[in-house]
Amino acid sequence: MKVNINIIDPDSIDSDELIRRAQNLHDLSVESGIDNIFQPGLVKEIIIAKTLGHNVVTNKRMPDACNKKDETIFYEYLSCYEGGSGQLDRMFKHPPKKREESLRRITRNDMIYYAIFFRKTLKIKSIFEIEVDDLLAETERQLDISSNDISHVGFSEKWAEENCKKVYSHE
């Protein structure tokens, strides 16, 4: 099986300029109260929250966002590029205690939002609202049929279109 590896020689691009811009972004984010703008998913979470009118929660191992008027109302964000799937990573099937902790990543929220971005951009194509019980049921279904104790649980754009309410569309 051939594996396609994308390799970049730092000398073949303007890596100094790229690093300078990254440092400027880091400095701006720290000034704005964001300790690690390069935390996986955080930039997309900021874009989703801005689009939906939410506040972003920047702490790791917490929900992704909360309601602006009531900070006890939490939201989880899933996202992908067109043609991909939104994922909950490292969800445990077994042991039962670990499964319960994994599922808590869903149940601690009041709503789940799934954003699909246009390819190679930071522009949102659509956002779906997913009821917690619906995502929980689909996650448990996928875990139950998985042959692994730890799985990445995925949700396609088609699944969202068939099972969720579209709350934003770029048109």
CATH code assigned at 153: 3.40.210.10
pLDDT digits (tens, 9 = 90+) for 119-153: 999 999 999 999 999 999 999 999 999 999 999 99
Residue 24, in any domain of the structure: no
The total number of structural domains in the chain stands at: 1
Q: What are phi and psi of 52, to 5 degrees?
A: -90, -5
- Residues 33 and 95: their CA atoms lie apart, in Å, by 38
- Residues 60 and 129: their CA atoms lie apart, in Å, by 22
* Bridge partners (DSSP) listed for residue 91: 151
Q: Tell me, what's the pLDDT at 2?
A: 78
Residue 15, in any domain of the structure: no
Residue 67, in any domain of the structure: yes
Residue 86, in any domain of the structure: yes
Q: For residue 144, give the nearest of 105, 101, 100, 92 by alpha carbon.
A: 92
pLDDT digits (tens, 9 = 90+) for 95-127: 999 999 999 999 999 999 999 999 999 999 999
Residue 117, in any domain of the structure: yes
Residue 7, in any domain of the structure: no
Q: How many angstroms separate the first and last alpha carbons of the chain? A: 40
Record the tokens describing residue 87, joined without a space: 């994922």
Residue 14, in any domain of the structure: no
Residue 88: pLDDT over 90: yes
- The residue range of the domain holding 98 is 39-169
